[in-house]
């Protein structure tokens, strides 16, 4: 009788951030459906409770039939990280200490019930997970959840280009040529590489990125959430000693939201609008609009006269916005709708949406590409500036807005960008054409026999051969 083929059990560890959860969940789904692997998905207890608010116990295991959700503790199970009352450096130190201990216990517990972990996959900024993997004698893998161009840029920053980038950090138009990449200006680089202010947040990210590249040689592979067709040059510029699998996915699903979805009937509202007429605006789960930006955004939307759906989280609803919202609520033509949170993928997939005004987080960028929607890019920080560069210059499916001295997009600039992308001019027609082309290329990659599926199967097969 032939020996039964071993099923691999991947422990996928993510930070309790909506953007990280979405991307890691998509990977988990593909590991189970395309590669037939078992997956345990783990975030902090606090994040786990927010994802599954109906569970009776904070650490209660949840199983959706394919994926098991089982949390670890960062020591702050009741309220998580509270930026207004906690020191970031102290919290991160406790997160590392408690996380390493409790995740190690989780691995032992899984083995004790006949579910031994064969590999641990981690999202960025959780490099201590490599030590947990080493402790239990299992391989570790990095799941890079930003663009391959960003990965390559960070690598070269720490390997020969830190001094020149630092020296010109105050010159937005200064051009730098990194190996294998198109010429980039300082304003295009991830913000943490050019930020000179001495603050704990920036220091954390720089230190974490430096550590990430230091421990990479202990990983057996890197999974890249991108597509070969999207970033051919950037992928070729990744160091050859790294074993990289490009496994970008667009399942466009999440196990649960960290934010409560707005009860307004926004999908029904979209159903009443003409095809390609609606402007959708969202700055994601972390970015916070300045008061000045809120006013200018509202002004631009009003002046454009196009119908819009605007997502503004409850934690970003300043007095000024409430006043604006009240005014819009009195608008008899029902031109706009504001919601606190929504299913972004459903909105982007709706035929009425003709443009996405986005902060250009990688999640939002990939979702927009998968839905074929052109973008007006309003990058805020971290990798968003580089994503905006890719959208405008490499892929040609959007425009990057100009900002004033305070980093704010003025109302008239928003109107200009919307007219450029959604108008009847030659430029707008070309942008929309390219958006549809990239939609086709993305789905070609994720369909059966596509590059993402083939690469994911090859990744799992690597474990079959080596372990």
92 falls within a domain: yes
Answer whether residue 329 shows pLDDT above 90. no
Determine the pLDDT at residue 198: 65
Which residues make Cβ contacts (< 8 Å) with residue 410, sequence separation at least 6?
296, 300, 404
Segment 32-49 mean pLDDT: 93
Q: What percent of the chain has pLDDT over 70?
A: 88
Task: Write out pLDDT tens, residues 283-316.
Answer: 875 556 788 888 999 999 999 999 999 998 665 5
| Same domain, residue pair 283 and 306 | yes
Q: Supply the DSSP symbol for 407.
A: S
Look-up of token digits 């080596």 = 466
Determine the pLDDT at residue 201: 72
Q: Which residue in 36, 42, 34 sits closest to 8, CA to CA?
A: 36
| Same domain, residue pair 70 and 138 | yes
180 falls within a domain: no
Q: How far apart are CA 96 and CA 248, in angstroms?
A: 28
Determine the pLDDT at residue 203: 79
3-state SS of 107-160? HHHHHHCCCCCCEEEECCCCCCHHHHHHHCCCCEEEEECCCHHHHHHHHHHHHH
Determine the pLDDT at residue 285: 56
Answer whether residue 319 shows pLDDT above 50. no
Segment 435-462 mean pLDDT: 93
C-alpha pair distances (Å), 299 with each of 24, 292, 295: 37, 11, 6
161 falls within a domain: no
Determine the pLDDT at residue 405: 82
Task: Write out pLDDT tens, residues 386-415.
Answer: 999 999 999 999 999 998 888 899 999 999
Please, which pLDDT band fits residue 374 given cuts at 50, 70 and 90?
A: very high
Answer whether residue 364 shows pLDDT above 60. yes
395 falls within a domain: yes
| Same domain, residue pair 250 and 396 | no
For the entire predicted model, the pTM comes to 0.92
More confident residue, 372 or 380: 372
H-helix or E-strand spanning residue 261: none
403 falls within a domain: yes
Task: Write out pLDDT tens, residues 212-221.
Answer: 999 999 999 9
| Same domain, residue pair 286 and 318 | yes
Extract the tokens encoding 2.
Answer: 């032939």
Q: What is the CATH number of the domain that holds 213?
A: 3.40.50.2000
| Same domain, residue pair 383 and 452 | no
H-helix or E-strand spanning residue 377: strand 375-377
Q: Which residue in 299, 301, 318 sits closest to 310, CA to CA?
A: 301
| Same domain, residue pair 284 and 347 | yes
Assess contact for 164 and 52: CB atoms under 8 A.
Answer: no
354 falls within a domain: yes
What is the number of structural domains in the chain?
2
Determine the pLDDT at residue 381: 85
| Same domain, residue pair 117 and 143 | yes
Answer whether residue 72 shows pLDDT above 90. yes
Q: What percent of the chain has pLDDT over 90?
A: 74
Determine the pLDDT at residue 34: 81
372 falls within a domain: yes
Please, which pLDDT band fits residue 251 given cuts at 50, 70 and 90?
A: low
| Same domain, residue pair 247 and 364 | no
| Same domain, residue pair 453 and 439 | no
| Same domain, residue pair 403 and 390 | yes
Determine the pLDDT at residue 256: 53
Q: How many CB atoms are closer than 10 A to CB 388?
A: 26
Active site residue 350: no
Answer whether residue 325 shows pLDDT above 90. no
Segment 340-346 mean pLDDT: 89
Determine the pLDDT at residue 108: 98
182 falls within a domain: no
Determine the pLDDT at residue 84: 84
Catalytic residue, chosen from 8, 20, 48, 359, is 20
SS3 at position 412: helix
| Same domain, residue pair 457 and 427 | no
Q: How far apart are CA 236 and CA 259, in angstroms?
A: 38
Domain ranges, residue 311: 266-444
Determine the pLDDT at residue 39: 97
Q: How far apart are CA 440 and CA 421, in angstroms?
A: 20
| Same domain, residue pair 236 and 336 | no
User: What average pLDDT is seen over the chain?
Assistant: 89
Please, which pLDDT band fits residue 87 given cuts at 50, 70 and 90?
A: confident
Please, which pLDDT band fits residue 197 given cuts at 50, 70 and 90?
A: low
């Amino acid at each position: 009788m032939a020996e039964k083929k071993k099923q691999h059990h991947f422990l996928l560890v993510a930070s309790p951030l909506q953007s990280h959860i979405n991307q890691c969940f998509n990977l988990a789904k593909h590991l189970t459906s395309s590669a037939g692997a078992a997956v345990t998905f783990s975030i902090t207890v606090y994040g786990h409770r927010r994802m599954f608010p109906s569970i009776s116990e904070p650490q209660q295991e949840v199983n959706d039939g394919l994926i098991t959700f089982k949390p670890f503790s960062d020591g702050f199970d009741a309220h998580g990280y509270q930026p207004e009352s906690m020191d970031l450096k102290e919290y991160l130190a406790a997160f590392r200490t408690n996380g390493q201990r409790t995740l190690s216990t989780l691995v032992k517990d899984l083995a004790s019930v006949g579910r031994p972990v064969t590999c641990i996959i981690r999202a960025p900024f959780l490099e201590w997970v490599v030590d947990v993997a080493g402790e239990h004698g299992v391989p570790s893998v990095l799941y890079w959840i930003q663009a391959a161009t960003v990965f390559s840029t960070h690598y070269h920053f720490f390997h020969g280009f830190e001094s020149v980038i630092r020296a010109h950090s105050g010159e937005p138009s200064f051009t730098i040529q990194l190996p294998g990449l198109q010429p980039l200006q300082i304003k295009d680089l991830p913000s943490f590489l050019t930020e000179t202010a001495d603050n704990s947040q920036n220091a954390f990210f720089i230190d974490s990125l430096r550590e990430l590249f230091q421990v990479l040689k202990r990983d057996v592979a890197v999974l890249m959430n991108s597509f070969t067709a999207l970033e051919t040059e950037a992928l070729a510029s990744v160091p050859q000693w790294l074993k990289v699998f490009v496994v970008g996915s667009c399942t466009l699903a999440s196990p649960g939201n960290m934010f409560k979805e707005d009860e307004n009937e926004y999908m029904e509202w979209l159903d009443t609008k003409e095809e390609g007429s609606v402007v959708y605006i969202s700055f994601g789960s972390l970015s916070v609009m300045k008061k000045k930006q809120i006013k200018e955004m509202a002004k631009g939307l009003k002046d454009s006269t196009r119908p819009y759906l605007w997502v503004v989280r409850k934690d970003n609803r300043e007095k000024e916005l409430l006043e604006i919202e009240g005014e819009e609520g009195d608008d008899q033509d029902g031109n706009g709708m504001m919601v606190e949170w929504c299913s972004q993928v459903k909105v982007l997939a709706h035929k009425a949406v003709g443009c996405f005004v986005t902060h250009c987080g990688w999640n939002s960028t990939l979702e927009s590409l998968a839905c074929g929607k052109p973008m007006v890019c309003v990058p805020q920080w971290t990798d968003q500036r580089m994503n905006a560069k890719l959208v405008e210059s490499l892929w040609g499916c959007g425009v990057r807005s100009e900002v004033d001295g305070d980093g704010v997009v003025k109302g008239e600039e928003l109107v200009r960008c919307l007219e450029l992308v959604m108008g009847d001019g030659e430029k707008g027609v070309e942008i929309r054409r390219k958006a549809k082309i990239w939609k086709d290329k993305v789905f070609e990659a994720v369909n059966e026999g596509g590059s993402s599926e083939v690469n994911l199967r090859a990744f799992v097969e690597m474990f079959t051969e080596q372990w």
